Amino acid sequence: MSSDLVCANCAEEENLVGERDGEVITITCQECGLVWDRDLTPKCPTCGSVDVRVAFQSILEKSRGTQLSIQSMRRIYLCPTCDSDRLADYIKSNTPLPPDELPVTPRD
């Protein structure tokens, strides 16, 4: 499983330990000993801007047959530049955004 959290010194992905202090997590690589701070400020993954807006996205599950039900919602961040269409839809509809993928029933 690949992660966006990787040691810049030795490229370790698994053997990392974090300690949270407010809005910053201090990460220690257990392989090489490198220590760095991971800022939790939301950023646009496309352009890197911190000028993002909070939106909610529904998490759906199948309840009966083909019926989908909202089980919960998750907070996501939309960039006014990169996600302008999605952000406009969210503001206009005032409802949670649909999930990126719908749940499917596996075939036997």
Residue-wise pLDDT tens digits, 7-20: 999 999 999 999 98
Angle at CA of residue 39, ends 87 and 21, nearest 5°: 125
Residue-wise pLDDT tens digits, 27-57: 999 999 999 998 778 999 899 999 999 999 9
What is the per-residue DSSP string for 35-88? EEEEE-----TTT--S--EEEEEEEEEEEETTEEEEEEEEEEEE-TTTTHHHHH
Judge contact between 86 and 97, C-beta under 8 A.
yes
Cα within 13 Å of Cα(54), Cβ side:
4
Residue-wise pLDDT tens digits, 63-95: 777 777 778 899 999 999 999 999 999 999 989
Place of tokens 């006014």: 80
pTM score of the predicted model:
0.63
